[in-house]
Structure 1
Amino acid sequence: MGEVVIVNCTVVDGRAGGGAEALPDAAVLVRGERIAAVGPREQVLRLRPGAPAIDLAGAYLTPGLVNMHTHLSLALPGQGGDDVKGMGPHDLALYMADGARRTLACGVTTVRCVAEKDHADFALRRAIEAGRIAGPRVYTAGRALVCTGGHGHEGGDTLECDGPDAFRRGVRSQIKAGADLIKVMISGGIAGEHERIDTPQLFGDEMAAVIDTAHAWGRKVTAHAGPAAVIAEAVELGLDCVEHGYELTPQVAAAMAARGTALVPTLLVTRCKDFFTELGVPEWMQCRSLAAGPRHLDSYAMALAAGVTVMLGSDMPPFWPFEGTNATVRELEHMSESGLGPAGALRAATLEPARWLGADGDLGTVETGRYADLIAMDDDPLATASAFRGVRWVMKGGEVVRDDHAARPLR
């Protein structure tokens, strides 16, 4: 197992401000895939004198980002989405592999996929784990569960079910395929032409069937959900996470906090007109998206005030170039600027997702025993979330996959 020492860096992770502080003039000893030691530079160097070193030239070193709402096979209404929908299985696999490579390169070392087409996500995960392609660690829900004609029913990334028995079978079918979690659509949304954001789409017994069955199999459940009343019922039934939460109330936010239900707000989806225009998204969807923006921000503020755990999730492809950076970083900036602050944003992008995934023994902090999934930038992420615009170095599992300062080979 190879060893390398990372030096000339300041180590920062999501514990900062919560009992741990940034560690300047630090070093990190990496052995194989994992971190073997972290501490002051001289202390770590004494552990392995003469070990190969990576000099980060004064950069800030953080855990790799975790994007908790990704669709690498996203196909929205419009020409861009139609192009993806028209792909055969081989084209789709290559398209998603390219997206995975780009995602890793921008500093996202773990993703949670929350509805991908035709179970291609499982093949992608296997290929990444086998080292055949470059990409982040993949946690996936497989196909999202939806009622007949419900949100997202048009594509191969959802499975239509009706009634408690069918939803139980739907949960089991995704677990059989290898799902790490379950995604269910319990309300309408922005992308459904024949629905509203506040359209309820499952009855209580159907939601209970999904949640109870998933929990019996040791899987958490996250739900696409907009309106407060629908979310309140799901939270009471034991829902683990809400996606979007466009129309929360203080009372529902308080219930989420009390029950430990997390929120992935995906603030980008109601403020990304240029992205929609690029993909040829129809005017009705663009209008619905932008009109929901102010209420979406109010809901996010309610969640923060109530103490709800919030986590980073872009909904847009994580790597997508957008407003001078990528979608993941732009989402993180919105989360920070809208009340979370830089330290909270770092936590929402690293430690909190790792805890939700049950992977905080492996991911989310720069600590001994964790995977060496690390990124570096020149600006302080505790001063501004925009520091992540400058990610210039990425390591996953002890392997450097991006180094903007490396010498370029002669041609």
Structure 2
Amino acid sequence: MSEENARTSTVVVGCAIVDGRVVEGVPALPDGAVWVRGERIAAVGPRAEVLAQAREAGDHATVDLGGAYLTPGLVNMHTHLSLALPGTGGDGVKAMNPHELALYMADGARRTLLSGVTTVRCVAESNHADFALRRAINAGRVPGPRIFTAGRALVCTGGHGHDNPDTLECDGADGFRRGVRSQVKAGADLIKVMISGGIAGEHERITTRQLFPDELAAVIETAHAWGRRVTAHAGPAELIAEAVELGLDCVEHGYELTEAVAARMAERGTALVPTLLVTRCKEFFDELGVPEWMQARSLGAGPRHLDSYATAVAAGVEVLLGSDMPPFWHFEGTTASVRELEYMSETGIGPARALYAGTLGPVRWLGATDDLGTVQPGRFADLIAMDADPAAHTSAFRGVRWVMTGGRVVRDDQAGWSVG
């Protein structure tokens, strides 16, 4: 491990600093510096000023990024570290015993962190292994991103994903209230609910209703009473419209939005995590042995999905990064997280807004702005560096070459090492 990792005070220099506040008029800081003490950022500013502050306080290490652009780490809002799609790849995950699954998820967490994703929102994980993984990461026993998790997603009997241990079957308003409380009891930061069919359910359609209004109202009311936000796997506009009126906080996928529903989402502050990759990833499906029926449904939904996303953007809906595919997965020349962000940028929001959608926007939804999302004093030092400006070109994230989490460098390509 490098010397700077052993110290509690580090000054990062040789960088231009930019974050999601660029969309709000906060410009990049050229030739900037970041002073990190312990896990958090102590100071940010021009290089000479920050170095003077650090010298006055005592011993510190200096890390020179050689002219890189420094941003907060990416936040992936639709993550399944225990993903098990239909097909041979998913069957292998389903066959794992609890110990194997824990190690598999820990490896995925490590890869996720090294790819530049320093925070994830898990939206359905098997058998509550996510809570054990989060504790291990927080204790420093394994490397990985900060985890916000929904625990097991709530589904109706036979509903979307019911055949995986990452969901909990519920029925009726009382059943769904118990479901919410069970996940809160386990430690969930948010609640995920499946309100429609999807591309991975053989005996359903994307448009299949899976919760009735009283059931969904029970989920949202109970979660909000416990201070948890709710996100919903949802495809058709009609069901999304009902959910938005009931107070839904976020929509996953949103395959078939209309102008009227998108406008209402924007008005009510309901965010969208579009997961554009899931309807344009044949290479990924082939790699996992996903059956033809699912591939046809997924890829066939692609054009309408893209139109739906464009409709949401035009209406002013808050759109946030989420890949659904494992965040670190190598796909179309980069990682799934970066490719998703590129699609979002290219087909609607542009690079500056994409930087926001991959960092500060998700953190605001998570209610974690005191700790994450910007390069500011007091925030955790979860930082990544690349050689091009991501506020000008989203593809800059393809060049992530340095990663810090909680003040500890875990990847440095110029030095030729990482934590794994």
Q: TM-score range by the shorter chain?
A: over 0.9
Matched with 2:3 is none
2:412 is aligned, of 389, 403, 408, to 403
Letter in 2 for 1:20: V
For each residue in 1:208-251, what CA deviation from the matched residue of structure 2 results, as whole angstroms up to 9, or x when unmatched?
00000000000000000000000000000000000000000000
Distance 1:182 1:155 in 2: 17
| Per-residue deviation, 1:407 | 5.5
Whether the aligned pair in 1 keeps the contact of 2:411 and 2:417 (CA below 8 Å) is no
Distance 1:66 1:289 in 2: 25
Q: SS where residue 182 of structure 1 aligns? A: strand
Distance 1:87 1:95 in 2: 9
- 2:18 matched to 1:7? no
Q: SS where residue 29 of structure 1 aligns? A: strand
Distance 2:14 2:346 in 1: 30
**Pairwise CA RMSD:** 1.0
- 2:61 matched to 1:55? no
| Per-residue deviation, 1:406 | 1.0
Distance 1:73 1:404 in 2: 28
| Per-residue deviation, 1:383 | 1.5
Matched with 2:295 is 286
Matched with 1:343 is 352
Q: SS where residue 78 of structure 2 aligns? A: strand
Question: TM-score w.r.t. structure 1 length?
Answer: 0.98
Matched with 2:276 is 267
Letter in 1 for 2:254: G
Matched with 1:375 is 384
Q: SS where residue 17 of structure 1 aligns? A: helix
- 2:15 matched to 1:44? no
- 2:361 matched to 1:333? no
Q: SS where residue 168 of structure 2 aligns? A: strand
Structure 2: gaps (5+ residues): 1-6
Matched with 1:311 is 320
Letter in 2 for 1:296: H
Whether the aligned pair in 1 keeps the contact of 2:271 and 2:318 (CA below 8 Å) is yes
Distance 1:17 1:249 in 2: 26
1:120 is aligned, of 129, 150, 165, to 129
Q: SS where residue 317 of structure 1 aligns? A: coil
| Per-residue deviation, 1:51 | 2.9
Distance 2:206 2:223 in 1: 25
Whether the aligned pair in 1 keeps the contact of 2:8 and 2:60 (CA below 8 Å) is no
Distance 1:401 1:17 in 2: 29
- 2:115 matched to 1:106? yes
Matched with 1:24 is 30
For each residue in 1:130-173, what CA deviation from the matched residue of structure 2 results, as whole angstroms up to 9, or x when unmatched?
10000000000000000000000001000000100000000000
2:171 is aligned, of 135, 156, 162, to 162
Distance 2:244 2:293 in 1: 31
Distance 1:67 1:103 in 2: 9
Letter in 2 for 1:142: G
Alignment of 1:225-264 (within 5 A): 225-264=234-273
- 2:367 matched to 1:361? no
Q: SS where residue 111 of structure 2 aligns? A: helix
| Per-residue deviation, 1:48 | 1.6
Whether the aligned pair in 1 keeps the contact of 2:23 and 2:356 (CA below 8 Å) is no
Q: How many residues align?
A: 409
| Per-residue deviation, 1:408 | 6.5
Matched with 2:199 is 190
Distance 2:40 2:417 in 1: 28
| Per-residue deviation, 1:17 | 3.2
For each residue in 1:262-305, what CA deviation from the matched residue of structure 2 results, as whole angstroms up to 9, or x when unmatched?
00000000000000000000001001111100100111011111
Matched with 1:386 is 395
Letter in 1 for 2:12: I
Distance 2:42 2:99 in 1: 40
Whether the aligned pair in 1 keeps the contact of 2:255 and 2:305 (CA below 8 Å) is yes
Distance 1:126 1:218 in 2: 21
Q: SS where residue 126 of structure 1 aligns? A: helix
Change (3 A) 1:388 1:408: closer
Question: TM-score w.r.t. structure 2 length?
Answer: 0.96
Distance 1:370 1:338 in 2: 31
Structure 1: gaps (5+ residues): none
Letter in 2 for 1:384: H
Whether the aligned pair in 1 keeps the contact of 2:213 and 2:242 (CA below 8 Å) is yes
Letter in 2 for 1:336: S
Matched with 2:230 is 221
| Per-residue deviation, 1:177 | 0.4
Letter in 2 for 1:16: V
Q: SS where residue 294 of structure 1 aligns? A: helix
Distance 1:369 1:48 in 2: 15
Distance 2:352 2:362 in 1: 15
Q: Which ranges of 4 or more aligned residues in structure 1 deviate by more than 4 Å? A: none
- 2:129 matched to 1:91? no
Distance 1:82 1:43 in 2: 56
Alignment of 1:124-139 (within 5 A): 124-139=133-148
Q: SS where residue 90 of structure 2 aligns? A: helix
